[in-house]
A and B are shown apart, each in its own frame.
Chain A
Amino acid sequence: MKIDLQNLTIKKAHEAMGRGDFTAVELASAYLKEIKTKNGELNAYLEVFADVREQAEMADRMIKGGKADILTGIPIAVKDNILIKGRIASAASKMLENYQATYNATVIEKLKKRGVIFLGRTNMDEFAMGGSTENSAYGPTKNPHDPTRVSGGTSGGSTAAVGGNLALGALGSDTGGSIRQPAAFCGVVGLKPTYGTVSRYGLMAMASSLDQIGPIAKTVADAEIIYKAIRGRDSYDSTSFNLPKPASARGSSEARKIRIGVPESFLNRGGIDQAVIDNFRLTLKKLEQAGCEIKTVEVPNLHYSLSCYYVLMFAEASTNLARFDGVRYGAHLAGQDLLEDYMKTRGEKFGREVRRRIMLGTYVLSAGYYDAYYNKANQVRELIRRDYAKAFETVDVVATPTAPTPAFEIGKNTSDPLQMYLEDIFTVPINIAGIPGLSVPTGFTTPEPSAEAGKRLPLAIQIVSAWRQDDILLTLGKIIEACQT
């Protein structure tokens, strides 16, 4: 039978396999066929695994044996910085071109037990540094809605796979927006959970105090299914914890109870595409009609987020990437002596943006500048966290657009790194504060050059809630989806 991938969700696929409408093998084959047709152009996958069929057969045995749960047989894509034992995990870098993971990430372990099918590893900005997947050593990922434009980044391969029907769901990682921004650009749902709710064991570290694994899916309900499967305390990640049981009243879907705060003074600072603002206002209006309360909220230090974020990220990334020395794993280039081995290996096998960020991190951590940059950024981080805590005394959720622009043309921002960093303006504060954020599609825009080609670009809203209050985002996310139809 022909499976309608366009309208398929995890729940629908689960029910269909339970009824015997199609098997996990047939579902996986349908995706493999789609990948074969489209991946050449999109470059969403860096590798499609050779054993997808065997994985699917195993899932079918689980289903037949009555041991299936909702994720059994569901084909998902995995970002190339999450380890699957025995498979290559390259972080889209030449440094790890041939690196085979020596263990499973905890999220992989959890999904594997449930019979999830891993279709392949997806493209990304090298070591998760970028905002467009153009920093991959293996070429950019194209946007499934308009292949002349970027997919967003850094989880651009994962979001393009889901947005282009090359996977039913995906795992990404988010350090400053790397799940939410590409989700917005590709018209899919992306969740950055509260820092610590999902184990980072087996995720390649970029900026450890900001990194978080999260789900990418077509609907909020699907994202929720994956999120609930991967979260929980893990003894291999001491920053992870179990969420307390939700208080009874909240979490129900009564829209009138949800108070949405809009940081107006931050939005009024400019730099946001008109189509993005118009769509955002329209979405707020719909939510008001759906019974939500919309009010202005102050987050006074929000405009320092970007500088704060980049200083911390440069510092942590340069520290984390010191491990690539050409000795223990990854690439090795030989020089005259050990020092030259290091210099050559790192100089040639790291890409341009990675080299730039390591240099910047080395600068902000150097003796003369440590206080002015790194220490100051840590203080500002605390101020921003407290600003949010205060805001959440009067509202349940803070809303902004996910990104200041729709997906931009490939090559547009590559020569100006600062311009690229400014794309993260709405997403980075959430990582700084350690709180959860969800990007939900809110329609389309048709910008000038795409108009004649009849192409539409997705837009999205980002909703953010207090520490550990991830559930309310899922509740409101479903209301936002309901408002779109």
Chain B
Amino acid sequence: MLERKDIDNLANLARIALSDTEKDKLQKDMESILGYMSELQKAPGLTEGHLPEDYYLRNVMREDTEPFESGANTDTILSQAPKRKDNYFVVKKILDN
């Protein structure tokens, strides 16, 4: 069963600030949703792994060639940044002195 501290942990992991009321509601909703999803445990397992005829699963490789010209898209992409300085995204300092 989900406890309140689980909800706190998940919210921290997911980097989402949640109000206490929302956490209460989430705890209830998630329990009923996960309760339904746990039906999966009754499903049979996959006895043999992927089969040779599992055609849709294969790696798609390509040569690492023809890159975009360096800097060609920089300005377009940075135009959408909340904060930029020259050709950089601006974030708060993450290391103490």
Contacts and interface: CB of A to CB of B under 8 A. Distances in A.
Interface stretch (A55-63, A182-190, A336-344, A452-460): A336-344
A373 B60 contact: no
Contact of A373 (B40, B73, B76, B92): B40
Contacts of B82: 326-327, 329-332
B16 A359 contact: yes
Contacts of A239: 60
Nearest to A419: B32
The interface size bin for chain A is: 35 or more
Contact of A310 (B11, B17, B33, B92): B33
A301 B40 contact: no
A338 B83 CA distance: 13
A27 interface: no
A362 B13 contact: yes
Contacts of A327: 81-82, 89, 91
A330 B77 CA distance: 11
Interface in B32-79: 32-34, 36-41, 43-46, 50, 54-56, 60, 62, 73, 76-77, 79
A206 to B, nearest CB: 16
Contacts, number: 139
Interface in A398-455: 417-418, 421, 434
B16 A379 contact: no
The interface size bin for chain B is: 35 or more
Contacts of B45: 379
Interface string A89-129: 00000000001101100000000000000000000000000
Interface string A157-198: 000000000000000000000000000000000000001100
Interface of B: 6-7, 10-11, 13-18, 22, 26, 29-30, 32-34, 36-41, 43-46, 50, 54-56, 60, 62, 73, 76-77, 79-83, 89, 91-94
Interface of A: 99-100, 102-103, 195-196, 235, 238-239, 301, 304, 306-308, 310-311, 318, 322, 325-332, 337-344, 346-348, 350, 352, 355-356, 358-364, 366, 372-373, 376-377, 379-380, 382-383, 417-418, 421, 434, 467
Given A355-B18, A418-B32, 16 more contacts: A100-B80, A102-B73, A102-B77, A235-B62, A239-B60, A307-B39, A318-B14, A330-B80, A331-B82, A332-B83, A342-B15, A352-B22, A359-B11, A360-B34, A363-B34, A380-B40
